[in-house]
Amino acid sequence: MVKRWKAMLSDQSGGVALLAALGMVVFAGFAALAVDIGHLSAVQNELQRAADAGAFAGARGLWPNTLPIVGANPAPDCATAQTRALGTAANTNNKVDKAILSGGDVTVQVGSWDYGTKQFTQGCAAGTNAVKVTTRKNGVPTFIAKIIGVTSVDLTATAIGVMGWVGGIGKGALPISINKRFVTPGNEITINFTPDPLDNGGWFADPPDKASANTFKDYVENGSCPPLSVGDIINLQNGQDTSVFFALRDKLAEHGGSWDTFLPVVDTDRFNQMTPIVGFVSFRITAVTQNVGVTGTVLGLAISSGGSPGGPNLGLLSPPKRVG
C-alpha cells in the first residue's frame, strides 16, 4: 500500500496537465481582454485625430483664406472658426468607430491661449487666437469585458489649435529692421539707410555676426541670417552700402519686382546701437534704388510658413499649431 501511494505521488503528469490547462485559460483571458483594449485604443486614437483636425481647421478659420492683406488686419472670425472646426471634426475623413461623428459628439470653443500660463480662456475678442475641440463617443461596446459587467465605455479627446501672432521667424531674414512707429498697415515707406542714425529703419546683424556690408550681403545672397525671436538683441547700423543695394536689387528682380518678406521690428529711432526685437512685420519691397533706399509697403496681415507663435500683433501670423 505504501509503495502504491509513493508511486502516485511521484507521478507528476497529472499536475503538469492541470497547470497547463489553467495556463491556457489565463492566456485565453488575456488574449480576449486584449481585443477590448485594442478596440478602445483604436477608437480613442480616432477621436484624437478628429479633435486635432478640427482644432487646426478652426484656428485657420479665424483668419481670411487669402493672405496677405495690404490694409488693416481684420478681427478674428469666430463664427467661421467654429463652423470649420465642427465641419472638419465631423466628416467622412475623420470617422470614429466606422461612423461619422454627429454634431452632438463635437464641442467647439473659440477663445484665447495664454503662452505664459498655458491656459485657454473661452470668448471671442480682439485677442482671440485659439480653438478648442472636444470629441466624444459614448457607449463604445466591449466584447469580452461584458463577462465582468462592463458592456460599454465612454471616450473623449481634446485638442487646442492656435494661430496667432509670430514670436519668431526661421533662418533667412533680410538684414533690414524697421522702426515700430512706422509699422502701419498699408503704409508705403522708403528706408534710406543714411549715415544719420535717426531713421525709420536700417541694417542689422545678429551677433556674433558683425554689422558690416559683408554680413548684410551674405544675409541677402545666401539667406544666412540665423532664426530670430522676439527679445533677441540685434546690432543696428546705417549707411549706404553699395554692394548690399546691388544684391537686394538683383533679388528683387528675381521676384518679379514685388517681394514679400518679413522684417524684425525695433522700438527705436536710432539705428546705430544694440537693441531688442519687439516683433515682426510683413513688408512688400517694390523698389531698391542706390543712394535712395528700399521702398515698400507694410502689409496688414500675412502668414509666415516657418514662424513660431507667441509674439505681439504686428500683422504677421504663425501657422496653426496644436498647444493642448
Check residue 164 and report its DSSP letter: -
In this structure, the answer to whether residues 134 and 212 fall within a common structural domain is no
C-alpha distance from residue 160 to each of 26, 102, 281 (Å): 42, 20, 26
Q: Is residue 7 in a domain?
A: no
CB proximity list for 261: less than 8 A, separation 6 or greater: 173, 174, 282, 283, 284, 285
Answer yes or no: is pLDDT of 197 > 90.
no
In this structure, the answer to whether residues 37 and 147 fall within a common structural domain is yes
DSSP string spanning 186-201? T-EEEE---SSSBSSE
Q: Which domain holds residue 74?
A: 18-163
- Please give the share of the chain, as a percent, with pLDDT higher than 70: 88
Q: Is residue 11 in a domain?
A: no
pLDDT digits (tens, 9 = 90+) for 121-157: 999 999 999 999 999 999 888 777 667 666 778 999 9
- Provide the pLDDT for residue 28: 44
- Provide the pLDDT for residue 141: 81
In this structure, the answer to whether residues 283 and 304 fall within a common structural domain is yes
C-alpha distance from residue 55 to each of 39, 64, 272 (Å): 25, 16, 44
In this structure, the answer to whether residues 145 and 240 fall within a common structural domain is no
Where does the pLDDT of residue 8 fall: very low under 50, low under 70, confident under 90, or very high at 90 and above? very low
Q: Is residue 199 in a domain?
A: yes
In this structure, the answer to whether residues 156 and 174 fall within a common structural domain is no
Q: Is residue 289 in a domain?
A: yes
In this structure, the answer to whether residues 88 and 208 fall within a common structural domain is no
In this structure, the answer to whether residues 181 and 315 fall within a common structural domain is yes
**Stretch 102-106: mean pLDDT:** 93
Q: What is the pTM of this model?
A: 0.83
Nearest-Å Rg of the Cα atoms of the chain is 31
pLDDT digits (tens, 9 = 90+) for 213-271: 999 999 999 999 999 999 999 999 998 889 999 999 999 999 999 999 999 999 999 99
Q: 13-61 and 78-89 are packed helices; what angle lies between their axes, rounded to 10 degrees? A: 150
Looking at this protein, which amino acid is placed at residue 240? Q
Q: Is residue 1 in a domain?
A: no
In this structure, the answer to whether residues 173 and 311 fall within a common structural domain is yes
What's the domain count of the chain?
A: 2
Answer yes or no: is pLDDT of 204 > 90.
yes
In this structure, the answer to whether residues 195 and 66 fall within a common structural domain is no
**Stretch 277-305: mean pLDDT:** 95
Q: Is residue 12 in a domain?
A: no
Answer yes or no: is pLDDT of 23 > 80.
no
In this structure, the answer to whether residues 25 and 152 fall within a common structural domain is yes
Q: Is residue 276 in a domain?
A: yes
- From 115, 147, 163, give the residue that closes a domain: 163
**Stretch 162-182: mean pLDDT:** 96
Answer yes or no: is pLDDT of 281 > 50.
yes
pLDDT digits (tens, 9 = 90+) for 31-69: 556 777 888 899 999 999 999 999 999 999 999 999 999
Q: Is residue 4 in a domain?
A: no
